[in-house]
Amino acid sequence: MQVVTISFFRYDNWASRLEALSQMARGRFALKSVPGLEFFKLLGTGSDEGFNPRPNVDVNAILCVWPDMATAKAGLKGSITHRTLRDHSCETYTIYLTPTSARGMWSGVEPLQVTEKAEEGPLAVLTRATVKLPVALQFWKHVPQIQKEVAADPTCVFHMGLAEVPWVQQVTFSLWQGTGTMAGFAHGQTPHGRAIRAAYGDHWFKEDLYARFKILEEEGTWEGGSPMAKLKSDSRPAAPAPAEPAATEKPAAQAPAKPKKAPRKSRGSKKSKVSA
């Protein structure tokens, strides 16, 4: 069973922030020598939960793909890059996942291998895209409303926007109570759904990847607590999102309304009538 780990690191002083920036450049060389590590990405974040393109020097992340859980555990423990960032951070959080669906490519390869079936209940979602430069501004104009919608959704307990390269190589990661509300947010008549339809309809992306994951376990805390505990606080699967009609589907014909009967005239005296 393939295991994907995403480790988040938070910093509260400039010495730590500078070391983190240094590791973003140097860490890739050390990660290449970690036994069993099949694929990795060092990721920065933006402001406002990562959805603002202005860089956030307080938080960064590392995504890694491993062949199994034992290799993942040993690799994270032995990785010099992870250990250095842990030592300089004021808070760290790692989540262990396995993919249940994946489509698309990342840096010219397909890094995710799906061997597990999706289950009802909590899930993690990752999206990744390289945005074409001519449409970058058009892409980013949708982001503020999407951010507000995600923040207001009680079934999304964790969300973070990340980037390999600011503005053009974007990654989002989120944890959801269930597939119903997540699918409604992603593909329904929402700011995100409309942005996705525009992106694929107008070919905004040079490369993209979309994946869902089963959540295995977590280590550490984020914002002083456990994101998985928030998921477990309401483990009921969300209701499925209503299906949208196809673009070519015609509205169902409606039966003609029956004509209303004219009101009976009053047989009383004219004095008893009330004028409207």
Q: What is the pLDDT of residues 34-60, one digit of tens each?
A: 999 999 999 999 877 666 677 899 999
For residue 149, which amino acid is it?
E
Segment (H or E) for 43: strand 39-47
- Kindly tell me if the per-residue pLDDT of 218 is higher than 60: yes
What pLDDT was estimated at residue 183? 65
pLDDT digits (tens, 9 = 90+) for 70-81: 999 999 999 999
Write out pLDDT tens, residues 84-109.
999 999 999 999 999 999 999 999 99
**Cα separation of 222 and 61, whole Å?**
13
What pLDDT sits at residue 148?
72
pLDDT category at 264 given cuts 50, 70, 90 is very low
Task: Please give the model's pTM, rounded to 2 decimal places.
Answer: 0.79
The first and second tokens of residue 159, run together, are 């969300």
- Helix extents (H) in the chain: 14-31, 69-78, 80-88, 136-140, 143-152, 179-187, 191-201, 227-232
Q: What is the DSSP string of 141-201?
A: TTHHHHHHHHHH-TTEEEEEEEEEETTTEEEEEEEES-HHHHHHHHHSSSHHHHHHHHHHH
Report the pLDDT value the prediction gives residue 144, as an integer from 0 to 100.
67
- Cβ contacts of 223 within 8 Å, gap of 6 or more: 91
- In 3-state terms, what secondary structure has residue 261? coil
Confidence of residue 193 (pLDDT cuts 50, 70, 90): low
Q: What mean pLDDT is predicted for residues 167-192? A: 73
Q: What is the mean pLDDT of residues 227-253?
A: 52
- Residues constituting the chain: 276
Predicted pLDDT at 251: 37
Distance separating alpha carbons of residues 229 and 232, to the nearest angstrom: 5
Say which DSSP state 107 is in: T
